Structure 1
Amino acid sequence: MSPDGRGELGRATIVPMPDPTAALQAVRTSTADLLKGLEEHRWSDDELRAPSRCAGWTRGHVLTHLARNADGIAATLAGALRGEVVPRYPGGGRGRDQEIEDGAPRPALALLADVSESAERLDRVFGAVQEAGRWDARTDGGLTAADWPARRLREVEIHRVDLAGDYGPDRWPPLLVAELLPGVMTSLAERVATGVHVVVDAAGSVAPEPAGQEWTVGDGAVEVRGPDWAVLAWATGRGAAATGLGEAPGLAPWR
């Protein structure tokens, strides 16, 4: 994620990845739900140029990012199947950012088609990796192919909340919350200006066995307590979309 909280999610967070087959099924479900929601919502051109929950980005920026992220992952996975390490973004971060800026103002029909078609291309490559049994293939960023289903799941689910529609973090899938929350919390001390004690309540949580998770920073003077999805929303900078926490201190952007 960039310094203002946009873009690639969790690049500096070390998180054990779930089984790629389970993550692939989850990302397929999430992608289908995203596309269905976009079709049902039918945002106008003007609505897609309105601000998203990502500072400085419109909904058009978010959708363009999702499409280019899909194509980038597809490119590095296709390269891995050929025994090559291919960068997701040949132009680097600057080139990626420019593609997002260029694509964001497009009409609604073009944006939605781009998200759908890029997701289909990525799914075909995921299927090819699975069929070939090549989840161990090396890819961009020092990762293996097995890492990418979970990373794509993060992008789809978190940026769907950023679209500021009717989809909230309380609908995040259990696999995402269980996989991502512990890793995100490892950087909490670097991002909060006061002592906090964070407690996950079992009531309302979505991940298996959420009770007992807690983290303390400094003197733990401020308690942040709620279901796992709400804690994750706060920890990833999406607290404004969460309704299960009450007052919680602000955080520096999650990278």
Structure 2
Amino acid sequence: MTGLPDVPGVAPPAVSKPEPRPTPSQLVAILDAAAADFRDRIRFLTDDDVRSPSQLPGWSRGHVLAHVAGVADGMARQLEYAVRGETIELYDSGAEGRNRAIEEGAVLNADRHRRELSTSLDRVLAAFHGLQAADWQAPISYRSGVVRDGGLALWRELVIHLTDLGVGVEADTWSPQLCEHLFGFLSARVPAGVRLRLQPLGLAPRVLGGSAPGEPVSSTVSVNGMATDIAAWLAGRTPNLASLRAEAAADGVDLPKLLPWPSALPTK
């Protein structure tokens, strides 16, 4: 459901379609750039730096680095199996194996983190560069999707977790294209019965959520502000709250509480 309730005598506001997702070649270029930026930003981290808290509660920078390396390796093997017509779990031993690998990897020193992450990024980027046109629609186990979904996931992980590291990169650097993608992907966080009308500055309005067939919409909330701040809020990161304004029935309201991050695994 994408429309808003009609107001007598007033035409409902038009809601433009979001920007199209990046093409495969564009996505590969985006992943190359995101990986290069990630590597560059961690070049000078010291051992003390990687042991220090990240912006994710309960996680050090080392936890974040170990997690990103694990995602890169996991996505690489998704692709390596997909091109052979096979699927495999994203992580060895599922969620338990993922969590164990993060805890074990978090204690590595800074140089070891850089080496491990660089090896993992090299592997996954090589896998994406090696894809043929038909491979992008090959099934993978990640979210029961296809290879293209895996590329979008890696993009999210590289950009959002770079922000989480607290190395001087904030959500206000996120591209309009990423924000558009996050608006769609994170629509799963909108609670049942709530409709969000996003009005990001400089981007087309977007309506998220609504209700299941036969269920009423309990509230419609308009969220206005910078696209990056809206995306950061949806992603559970810290936006510039001064930029965001939520309204319901023309009155200012609090931003609605969102559901957990959409994931088949209990990941950050």
TM range (shorter): 0.7 to 0.9
Equivalent residues of 2:78, 2:89 under 8 A apart? yes
Aligned position for 1:49: 51
Aligned position for 1:177: 179
Q: Report how far residue 66 of structure 1 moved.
A: 0.5
Aligned position for 1:136: 137
Is the partner of 1:135 in helix, strand or coil?
Answer: helix
- Is the aligned partner of 1:254 residue 2:261? yes
Aligned position for 1:28: 32
Is the partner of 1:134 in helix, strand or coil?
Answer: helix
TM-score normalised by length of structure 2: 0.75
Q: Relative to 1, partners in 2 of residues 1:116 and 1:109: Cα closer, same or farther, differing over 3 Å?
A: same
Q: Relative to 1, partners in 2 of residues 1:152 and 1:123: Cα closer, same or farther, differing over 3 Å?
A: same
Q: Relative to 1, partners in 2 of residues 1:242 and 1:47: Cα closer, same or farther, differing over 3 Å?
A: farther
Structure showing greater radius of gyration is 2
Equivalent residues of 1:61, 1:104 under 8 A apart? yes
Taking only the aligned residue pairs, the percentage that are identical comes to 31
Q: Quick check: 25-34 or 137-146, which moved more?
A: 137-146
Is the partner of 1:110 in helix, strand or coil?
Answer: helix
Query: Which structure has more strand as a fraction of its residues?
Result: 2
User: Moved runs in structure 1, 4+ residues, more than 6 A?
Assistant: none
In 2, Cα distance between the equivalents of 1:50 and 1:253?
Answer: 26
Aligned position for 2:244: 245
Gaps of 5+ in 2: 1-19, 211-216, 246-253, 263-268
Q: Report how far residue 24 of structure 1 moved.
A: 1.7
In 2, Cα distance between the equivalents of 1:186 and 1:86?
Answer: 25
Equivalent residues of 2:75, 2:124 under 8 A apart? yes
- Is the aligned partner of 1:63 residue 2:65? yes
Counterparts of residues 187-198 of structure 1 (less than 5 Å)? 187-189=189-191, 198=197
Superposition CA RMSD, Å: 2.6
Q: Relative to 1, partners in 2 of residues 1:136 and 1:252: Cα closer, same or farther, differing over 3 Å?
A: closer
Is the partner of 1:22 in helix, strand or coil?
Answer: helix
Aligned position for 2:11: none
Counterparts of residues 107-146 of structure 1 (less than 5 Å)? 107-130=109-132, 133-141=134-142, 142-146=144-148
Q: Report how far residue 48 of structure 1 moved.
A: 1.1
Count of equivalent residues: 227
Tell me which of the two structures has the higher relative contact order, counting C-alpha pairs closer than 8 angstroms and 6 or more residues apart: 1
Q: Report how far residue 182 of structure 1 moved.
A: 2.6
In 2, Cα distance between the equivalents of 1:173 and 1:79?
Answer: 31
Q: Relative to 1, partners in 2 of residues 1:241 and 1:111: Cα closer, same or farther, differing over 3 Å?
A: farther
Gaps of 5+ in 1: 1-15, 204-209
- Is the aligned partner of 1:236 residue 2:238? no
Q: Report how far residue 99 of structure 1 moved.
A: 0.3
Q: Report how far residue 219 of structure 1 moved.
A: 3.7
